[in-house]
């Protein structure tokens, strides 16, 4: 059984009367090197318990099964149930859960299904829910690594640094918790149906601590979102219009005190710069109270 052979996949899907769903982001892999390289990149061993989202016909699942202690895969499309029963037969360390991963309590699922193992995520994600899924994996707080294939454009945003056009609030959020790297690209020709865009495999590895200290993390992320919501505005204008607690003069005062040009835009600041600004603004808020 070759789960990436295009003729085999067509025969299998046809035999089960399966139809691809665009809304579920169903683009299945048809190049054997891709699931093998994704699974190799995830740093798995017998002590690892893997969460895979969206096994499809199970090509990546089988690769994960050979490398990890256990694999739990969550599939929303129940039409894949008889197909996976066939393709994953004999993979004794794979358990399949049918449902919407976004509605599951992920830490509870990991505790229940992967006890005593080092939890990791490895998946070819459905592209329409990439951002909420990555957010959920980070917020679950239990994964050491998250190795996933996503759209190249989103991969670049996640891994971008200051000054780049791809740099933004979501990338800063991810990098607050995880080291992020792009591993390799995968062209549309490696899937059926072919997506319109190139994909990238990224690996996120949990940091021992946050990159910098900040007194009020929530306030810092409000400031970051304000800066990137209106990225064409100067930081002073973005802050004074969206952070209700401070005036334009106070925002200018904060930047001047920290030695920044008061005409800068948020996109030039690294997370350390945002943290310092958040600490100054917190002082202003506390002094008013």
When asked if residue 59 is in the footprint of ligand SAM (CB under 6 A), the reply is yes
Report the distance separating Cα 16 and Cα 23, nearest Å.
20
Q: Which of residues 9-48 bind ligand SAM (CB under 6 A)?
A: 24-29
User: Which H/E stretch holds residue 138?
Assistant: helix 130-140
First and final CA of the chain: distance in angstroms?
A: 68
User: Residue 135 Cβ, how far from ligand SAM at the closest point, in Å?
Assistant: 13
Report the distance separating Cα 34 and Cα 45, nearest Å.
19
Assess contact for 245 and 284: CB atoms under 8 A. yes
Sign of the alpha-carbon torsion through 275, 279, 284, 289: positive
Quick one: 88 or 269, whose CB is closer to ligand SAM?
88
Q: Which of residues 92-131 bind ligand SAM (CB under 6 A)?
A: 100-102, 124, 126, 129
Quick one: 59 or 120, whose CB is closer to ligand SAM?
59
When asked if residue 55 is in the footprint of ligand SAM (CB under 6 A), the reply is yes
Quick one: 36 or 264, whose CB is closer to ligand SAM?
36
User: Residue 122 Cβ, how far from ligand SAM at the closest point, in Å?
Assistant: 10
Q: Which of 63, 77, 252, 280 touches ligand SAM by CB under 6 A?
A: 77
Q: How many helices (H) and strands (E) does the chain have?
A: 12, 9
Report the distance separating Cα 159 and Cα 174, nearest Å.
8
Interaction site with ligand SAM (CB under 6 A)? 24-29, 53-56, 59-60, 74-77, 100-102, 124, 126, 129
């Amino acid at each position: 059984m070759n789960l990436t052979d295009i003729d085999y996949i067509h025969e299998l899907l046809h035999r089960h009367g399966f139809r691809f769903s665009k809304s579920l982001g169903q683009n299945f892999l048809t190049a054997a090197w891709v699931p093998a390289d994704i699974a190799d990149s995830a740093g798995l061993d017998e002590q690892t318990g893997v969460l895979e989202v969206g096994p499809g016909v199970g090509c990546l699942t089988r690769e994960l099964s050979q490398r990890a202690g256990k694999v739990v895969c969550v599939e929303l499309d129940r039409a894949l149930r008889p197909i996976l029963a066939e393709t994953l037969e004999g993979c004794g360390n794979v358990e399949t859960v049918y449902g919407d991963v976004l509605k599951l309590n992920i830490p509870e699922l990991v505790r229940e299904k992967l006890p005593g193992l080092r939890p990791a995520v490895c998946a070819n994600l459905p592209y329409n829910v990439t951002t909420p899924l990555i957010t959920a994996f980070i917020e679950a707080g239990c994964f050491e690594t998250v190795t996933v294939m996503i759209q190249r454009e989103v991969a670049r945003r996640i891994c971008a640094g200051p000054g780049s056009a791809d740099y933004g609030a979501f990338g800063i959020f991810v990098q607050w918790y995880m080291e992020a790297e792009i591993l390799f690209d995968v062209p549309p020709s490696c899937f059926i149906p072919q997506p319109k865009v190139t994909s990238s495999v990224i690996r996120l590895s949990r940091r021992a601590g946050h990159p910098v200290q900040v007194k009020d993390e929530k306030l810092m992320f409000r400031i970051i979102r304000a800066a990137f919501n209106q990225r064409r505005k100067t930081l002073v204008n973005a802050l004074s219009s969206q952070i209700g607690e401070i005036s334009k003069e106070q925002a200018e005062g904060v930047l001047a005190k920290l030695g920044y040009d008061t005409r800068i835009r948020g996109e030039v600041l690294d997370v350390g710069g945002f943290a310092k600004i958040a600490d100054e603004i917190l002082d202003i808020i506390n002094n008013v109270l």
